[in-house]
């Protein structure tokens, strides 16, 4: 196996340096919410709770949108219901469980941890761990390969210089040149 880049482990680390912040950026909660109708609340805190709740609840008609983003009739009704319950002084937990009782776990964008959702919750962690172990093993193996590499392969420039020197030394006896030619392809094919 030929490994021609001498600084492979460096490039892996720089890739990680770019990748890790990118992946962390994915964890940022997305704050886009387009509420269609104006809903009035007495204080900004309740309005914020309203916005958080309708971002947390899934529209059941257009299934990949939350209540805040959806223009479906049912989403509008459920937004109204949410606002109504907030005005009645109900807690966030009460509102979420009201929706869950009627529409099931599916209505929650963060389903509760239970037997059927266990895989959903732990799969990302397992995959992240597997990926990390894979990356670490690869880095280790490449570093080991780097150390084991024969000295004459470490610098191709030097190698060419040595070849040129050998070519310009016609006085060398033919046996040693033949030996070099024999061993060279053998070393490459390993």
- Contact residues toward other proteins (CB under 8 A) are 1, 60-61, 63, 73-74, 77-78, 81, 100-106
Q: How far is the CB of 135 from other proteins (least distance, A)?
A: 14
Distances (CA, A) of 30 to 25, 33, 55, 163: 10, 9, 10, 61
**Minimum CB–partner distance for residue 73 and other proteins (Å):** 7
Q: Please state the closest distance from residue 26 (CB atom) to other proteins, in A.
A: 20
| Helix orientation angle between 44-56 and 92-103, rounded to the nearest 10 degrees | 30
Give 39 or 177: the residue with its C-beta nearer to other proteins: 39
- Residues 6+ positions from 12 with CB-CB distance below 8 Å: 135, 138, 139, 142
| Cβ closest to other proteins, residue 1 vs residue 28 | 1
For residues 102 and 163, which CB has a smaller minimum distance to other proteins in the complex?
Answer: 102
User: Mind giving me the DSSP string for 125-140?
Assistant: HHHHHHHHHHHHHHHH
**Strand partners of residue 58:** 66
Shorter beta-carbon distance to other proteins: residue 105 or 184: 105
């Amino acid at each position: 196996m030929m490994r021609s880049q001498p600084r492979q482990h460096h490039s892996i680390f720089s890739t990680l340096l770019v990748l890790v912040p990118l992946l962390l950026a994915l964890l940022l909660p997305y704050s886009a919410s387009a509420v269609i109708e104006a809903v009035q609340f007495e204080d900004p805190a309740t309005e914020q709770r309203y916005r958080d709740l309708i971002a947390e609840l899934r529209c059941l008609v257009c299934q990949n949108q939350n209540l805040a983003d959806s223009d479906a009739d049912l989403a509008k009704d459920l937004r109204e219901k949410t606002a109504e319950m907030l005005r009645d002084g109900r807690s966030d937990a009460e509102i979420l469980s009201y929706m869950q009782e009627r529409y099931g776990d599916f209505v929650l964008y963060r389903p509760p941890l239970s037997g059927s959702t266990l895989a959903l919750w732990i799969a990302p962690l397992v995959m992240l761990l597997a990926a990390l172990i894979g990356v670490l093993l690869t880095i280790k193996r490449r570093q080991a390969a780097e150390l084991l590499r024969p000295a004459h392969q470490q610098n191709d420039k030097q190698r060419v210089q040595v070849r040129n020197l050998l070519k310009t030394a016609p006085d060398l006896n033919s046996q040693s040149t033949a030996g070099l030619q024999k061993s060279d392809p053998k070393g490459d094919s390993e």
